[in-house]
Amino acid sequence: MAQDINPMSKRQNPSEFLKQIVGKPVVVKLNSGVDYRGILSCLDGFMNIALEQTEEYQNGQLKNKYGDAFIRGNNVLYISTQKR
């Protein structure tokens, strides 16, 4: 593809992104609108996710805290890093 000649290739494909974010604090939003914030333990190509120190937010309100959480990938709307 034409991207090979680009020296400043800032392109980041999903698989690369996933490798980079393991171990980082993330926000996982589900299709239902529920929000989970925690540290990403691992994930796979189906977007199945394992989180540590998870907080569950519903309508912006903290609802629950879980030590470990497993989220099935079909429910995931997006995964976001949260540097702030």
- Long-range CB pairs of 54-60 (<8 Å, 24+ gap) are 58/33, 58/34, 59/33
Residues 3-42, mask of contacts with other proteins (x by CB under 8 A): -------xxxxxxxxx--------x---x-----------
**Distance from C-alpha of 76 to C-alpha of 49, rounded to nearest angstrom:** 9
Q: Is residue 58 a contact point for other proteins (CB under 8 A)? A: no
Q: Which residues contact 18 (CB under 8 A, 6 or more apart)?
A: 43, 79
Interface size with other proteins, residues (CB under 8 A):
23
Q: Is residue 61 a contact point for other proteins (CB under 8 A)? A: no
Which residues of this chain interact with other proteins, rule CB under 8 A?
Answer: 1, 10-18, 27, 31, 47, 74, 76-84
